[in-house]
Structure formats: C-alpha cells, structure tokens
Amino acid sequence: MVPSLGWGSQEHQINTIDYFLLKKQHDDLYYRYPILVCPWCGDEECGFISVYIEREDDIIIWQDFKVEPSNQNINIGPFYFKWENYERAINDTYGIAGIQ
C-alpha cells in the first residue's frame, strides 16, 4: 500500500487534502479517511487502511486505525498533531508525486 496523499489527478489530490484538513467528509467513510491505498489504482475496492480524524481546538488526532474492508483494528495510536504543522504538511503533499 502507498500513501493516499500526493498523487493522482489534480481533482483527486485536492479532494484528498480537503478530507485530511476536515474541510469535507469522505463520501462513504464520513470522518474516516483512507491513509494507505492500492499502489496500482488507489481504488478503495482493492482494500486500504483508514483512520478516524478529529480536531480539538488546535490539535488534530489520528486514532482508530483499521484495515478495510474487513474492519480489522490496528493497534497503534492515537497520534496528535498541532494544527499549524499538520495543515502545512498536508498541503505540502500536493503534487509531490506529480499530477496524473
């Protein structure tokens, strides 16, 4: 699996960044977001690893990691990020692997 950020079409990358910055919910997963996806197509049908993301004031929390679609828990986290650093890091992923 590969990170879901930084590659794909321009529209896909902007959508993914908006998910991780909590500007909008994922169409099917709501506040869960795919962080690792299929390296060939990025399609969620191939399986992926998801995380629940929430914001409390200036802190972003990643928790409740799962292997999808089996809904199998992964015992890691939670991880905490300061909003300013998190926002910059997520935005910096745009185009890192190019635009396809």
Mean of all residue pLDDT scores within the chain: 92
**What is the residue-wise DSSP string for the chain?**
-EESSS-S-HHHHHHHHHHHTTSS-BTTTBTEEEEEE-TTT--GGG-EEEEEEEEETTEEEEEEEEEETTTEE-----EEEEHHHHHHHHHTTTTTT---
The pLDDT value given to residue 39: 82
Which residues, 6+ apart, have CB-to-CB distance to 93 below 8 Å?
Answer: 3, 5, 6, 13, 17
Domain ranges, residue 81: 2-91
* Residue 100, domain member (yes or no): no
Instruction: Report the candidate in 99, 76, 79 with the shortest Cα–Cα distance to residue 89.
Output: 79
- What is the reported pLDDT for 33? 94
Span 79-97, average pLDDT: 95
Q: How confident is residue 53, by pLDDT bands cut at 50, 70 and 90?
A: very high
User: Residue 97 domain-assigned?
Assistant: no
Count: domains in the chain: 1
How do residues 2-27 score in pLDDT, each as one tens digit? 899 998 889 989 999 999 999 999 88
For 57, the token pair is 């004031």
Q: What is the pTM of this model?
A: 0.88
Beta bridge partners of 18: none
